[in-house]
A and B are shown apart, each in its own frame.
Chain A
């Protein structure tokens, strides 16, 4: 059971907009930044979003992040086949004094 809760799966068709949710608590998302990672099998995870809604250089603006209270979301617009991957939210948990990841969401592009 992960400290941050994500839906196990999500799907969409090319061109659609999909959102992936991440639910936490006051000790993690509620008072700290949220980060999002994309992970393809056999590769290193890739930082998609940092500080709730900031994109590293090179990440397309189709990816966006938001946070409200103890929940966060990753939105992917203009869905492409290459977006099919696992997506993880992460953050610092002050009560645990450690980094926590969501369980991951497998995104399927139909």
Chain B
């Protein structure tokens, strides 16, 4: 069974850092582009970043460049999102998703992990 399972969410103070993980199973993780997509409370979906199979290509939404870093470890079938200098507006459910290219052809999604930035 194809599965993506996010972890690492929780409550963090403004200015703090958090590292999200996404564990993949049931498919050849190293063959797929991977993305992070978030949804703030009461808001729509917002793409955060994606990374290609060999980590040579990474794209970020302009508003988050410099604060968030996407990475992956194909040996561990895992995707990561390092989030620094967190702000209240980063509060959201964060989903990981797999795709065949840089385009939003997201065939598989995780269940999401909630990040709450609050003092």
- Interface of B, helix, strand, loop or mixed by DSSP: strand
Q: How far is the CA of A22 from the CA of B109 in the complex (A)?
A: 23
- Which of chain B's residues have a CB closer than 8 A to the CB of A32? 103
The residue from B50, B59, B60, B109 contacting A45, defined by CB atoms under 8 A apart: B109
- Which of chain B's residues have a CB closer than 8 A to the CB of A39? 45
- Which of chain A's residues have a CB closer than 8 A to the CB of B54? none
Given the contacts A44-B112, A99-B35, A88 and B44 also touching, CB distance less than 8 Å = yes
Query: Chain A contact residues (Cβ within 8 angstroms of B): what range?
Result: 20 to 34
Q: How far is the CA of A50 from the CA of B107 in the complex (A)?
A: 9
- Which of chain A's residues have a CB closer than 8 A to the CB of B35? 99
Q: How many A-B residue pairs have CB under 8 A?
A: 65
Task: Spot the interface stretch: A12-20, A64-72, A73-81, A101-109.
Answer: A101-109
Contacts A/B (CB < 8 Å), 30 sampled: A32-B103, A33-B103, A33-B105, A35-B104, A35-B105, A43-B111, A44-B95, A44-B109, A44-B110, A44-B111, A44-B112, A45-B95, A45-B109, A46-B109, A47-B105, A56-B107, A88-B45, A90-B45, A90-B47, A92-B102, A96-B62, A98-B47, A98-B61, A99-B47, A100-B47, A101-B44, A101-B47, A101-B104, A102-B44, A104-B45
B residues with CB within 8 A of A: 35, 37, 44-47, 50, 59-62, 95, 102-107, 109-112
